[in-house]
Amino acid sequence: MSQQRSEKINNRNASVASPPRICVVGGGLSGLATAYRLHRLLPEASISIFEAAPRVGGVIHSERSKDYLVDHGADMFATNPPAAILLCKELGVVDELIEPLIEGRGAKIVNGGLLEALPEGFVLMRATQLWPMIRTPLLSIRGKLRFFMERWIPVKRNQGQDTQDESIGDFVRRRMGHEMLDRIVAPLTAGIYTADIDRLSMLATMGPIAKMEATHGSLAKATSERRKSGEDSVERNSAGARYSQFRAFPEGMRQLIESLVTNLPLHCIHTETRVTSLTRSSTSGWNLNVTTQKMERCESFDEVVLATPPRVTSDLIKNISPEAANTLADIEASSVAIVVLGVKQAQVARPANCFGFVVPLSENRKILACSFASQKFSGRAPADRILIRVFVGGAMQPELLQKSDLELSELVREELAELIGLTGEPELTKVVRWHEAMPQYHVGHLDRVKKIEGELAKVDGVTVVSNSLHGVGISPVISQADNAAKEIAARY
């Protein structure tokens, strides 16, 4: 924290005798996790959460529909980094968590209209086993030779720095060739970030891999070193073993949101309450204008946590910290639709026998990825049924989101008819749309985050917590919320 800022805060706190009044704007995971940690660290503090929507949870929501359990957004979380699993322990729900089913673990990639297994031991952009790479039909002989040359490709050095940001596309083309990028890495990464691989930042999304190149000279040499030290034991074991690092809730990810809410002070959550402006109060602290269905009002707080999407946050801070606001507005977010289908097993002529598959752009298809939710976790569908979630749109095909729900579900059914032999009417069809919900960590993202946080450090009492800064996954979001709450608590 800057000296200027801590002096201002100390002066202000000297005049704040009563427990701090803290407002968290946005009741998604970022906001709820920050509020929960603040409540633990400052039990005396008065905490209010203002959420514009009729329910909390943001992009996390689950519902039961026709005997299916449908997650509208996230359906599982990684136990590494450990913030999410540690939070579940604290909330007393860790024993309820379920692990992915054993049978069918692994992902496939569409290759010439067929589903081919991801080579055993392949992790994001690293092959921890050689033999599966030699045998995979996903690459041509030329593509494989280019991939195996990676060990001898020189490290990119820039102006004396070991690494400088570049896109994932540039990194993989440079080190492993375009086939490896197009056929394997791009669809896998696009499946996670729904992104344009030629704009996605290597340092912000694959930092440890960039570091391996800088430290060892190549990913192949880094992998040899890690094999000797046993660091890659889980990755090498099998694609299936890696799935034991994920967890879900028996009633869907909404249970995480409910557990947080249960552990927050009573009546602190105000739904259908939209914050429209944030201004410095004439005494100390901040004034928030809020609108509800019934009225507009102004409320004052000592501390404000903005856990809203980047565009909303940018708008709220534009008069307080114009530089931070402009830089936040530069962080784009892509939109995605999930077409959810519940079908009888007998309706699928060629079951994929995997947890899901991703689709390379070169396949010229209209779907990004497909997840077999009932194959991944128990309790998602009745015994003889399959619950399928298909992702459409993202940064590369945003125009598809202009289609109606009916058009989207028909398009998905046509694609699945070709890929897995789906026939007949689904007994459940649902289309979930997430508008600008997937932040895009483009090249230079880390510099943008540094700038935003540097500028905000000059403003006492306003903290930004968001999945658009330090990681989009549930665990990184919780970790960022914990850190923000600890910084605020340290001031009181």
Ligand X SMILES: Cc1cc2nc3c(=O)[nH]c(=O)nc-3n(C[C@H](O)[C@H](O)[C@H](O)COP(=O)(O)OP(=O)(O)OC[C@H]3O[C@@H](n4cnc5c(N)ncnc54)[C@H](O)[C@@H]3O)c2cc1C
Work out how close the CB of 315 gets to ligand X at its nearest, in angstroms, rounded to a whole number. Answer: 8
Site string for ligand X, 304-323 (x = CB under 6 A): ---xxx--x-----------
CB 466 within 8 A of CB 308: yes
Here the tokens at position 231 are 């660091």
Counting contacts by CB under 6 A, is residue 58 touching ligand X?
yes
Residues 65-94 that bind ligand X (CB under 6 A): 73-77
Site string for ligand X, 405-444 (x = CB under 6 A): -----------------------------x--xx------
Work out how close the CB of 388 gets to ligand X at its nearest, in angstroms, rounded to a whole number. Answer: 15
Work out how close the CB of 170 gets to ligand X at its nearest, in angstroms, rounded to a whole number. Answer: 25
C-beta of 55 vs 135, nearer to ligand X: 55
Please give the Cα distance from 322 to 480 (Å, whole number).
Answer: 23
Work out how close the CB of 275 gets to ligand X at its nearest, in angstroms, rounded to a whole number. Answer: 4
Nearest partner of 41 among 273, 303, 308, judged by Cα: 303
Residues 451-470 that bind ligand X (CB under 6 A): 466-467
**β-pair partners for 370:** 357, 390
Work out how close the CB of 253 gets to ligand X at its nearest, in angstroms, rounded to a whole number. Answer: 8
Cite the DSSP H helix spans in 136-243.
Answer: 141-148, 168-176, 178-180, 186-193, 202-205, 207-216, 219-229, 233-237, 239-242
Site string for ligand X, 246-275 (x = CB under 6 A): ----------------------------xx
The separation between CA 152 and the C-alpha centre of its own chain, rounded to angstroms, equals 34
With contacts defined by CB under 6 A, how many residues of the chain interact with ligand X? 35
C-beta of 85 vs 212, nearer to ligand X: 85
Q: Is 268 helix (H, G, I), strand (E, B) or coil?
A: coil
Choose one: 6-14, 55-63, 203-211, 441-449; the region binding ligand X (CB under 6 A). 55-63
DSSP of 457-489, one letter per residue? TTSTTEEE--TTTS-SSHHHHHHHHHHHHHHHH
Work out how close the CB of 153 gets to ligand X at its nearest, in angstroms, rounded to a whole number. Answer: 32
Angle between helices 474-489 and 83-91 (to 10 degrees): 70
Residue type, 181: L
Site string for ligand X, 323-362 (x = CB under 6 A): -------------x--------------------------
Work out how close the CB of 322 gets to ligand X at its nearest, in angstroms, rounded to a whole number. Answer: 19
Choose one: 44-52, 209-217, 223-231, 447-455; the region binding ligand X (CB under 6 A). 44-52
Here the tokens at position 187 are 């669809």
User: What DSSP element (H or E) covers 407?
Assistant: helix 405-420
User: What DSSP element (H or E) covers 416?
Assistant: helix 405-420
Residues in the chain: 492
Counting contacts by CB under 6 A, is residue 25 touching ligand X?
yes
Q: What are phi and psi of 113, to 5 degrees?
A: 85, -5
Q: Is 164 helix (H, G, I), strand (E, B) or coil?
A: coil
Choose one: 235-243, 303-311, 322-330, 355-363; the region binding ligand X (CB under 6 A). 303-311
C-beta of 49 vs 324, nearer to ligand X: 49
Applying CB under 6 A, which of residues 53, 101, 396, 446 lies at the interface with ligand X? 53
CB 480 within 8 A of CB 470: yes
Applying CB under 6 A, which of residues 37, 51, 203, 394 lies at the interface with ligand X? 51
Angstrom CA distances, 278 to 298, 315, 396, stand at 10, 9, 35
Please give the Cα distance from 60 to 73 (Å, whole number).
Answer: 5
Counting contacts by CB under 6 A, is residue 30 touching ligand X?
yes
Residue type, 146: R
Work out how close the CB of 238 gets to ligand X at its nearest, in angstroms, rounded to a whole number. Answer: 21
C-beta of 175 vs 242, nearer to ligand X: 242
Applying CB under 6 A, which of residues 20, 23, 24, 26 lies at the interface with ligand X? 26
C-beta of 50 vs 147, nearer to ligand X: 50
DSSP 249: -
Applying CB under 6 A, which of residues 22, 23, 24, 60 lies at the interface with ligand X? 60
Work out how close the CB of 226 gets to ligand X at its nearest, in angstroms, rounded to a whole number. Answer: 24
Counting contacts by CB under 6 A, is residue 449 touching ligand X?
no
C-beta of 73 vs 461, nearer to ligand X: 73
Whose tokens are 């980047």? That residue is 310
Counting contacts by CB under 6 A, is residue 473 touching ligand X?
yes
Applying CB under 6 A, which of residues 20, 31, 100, 191 lies at the interface with ligand X? 31
Angstrom CA distances, 270 to 49, 136, 275, 279, stand at 6, 53, 11, 20
CB 272 within 8 A of CB 53: yes
Contact set with ligand X (CB under 6 A): 25-31, 50-53, 58-60, 73-77, 274-275, 307-309, 312, 336, 434, 437-438, 466-467, 472-474, 477
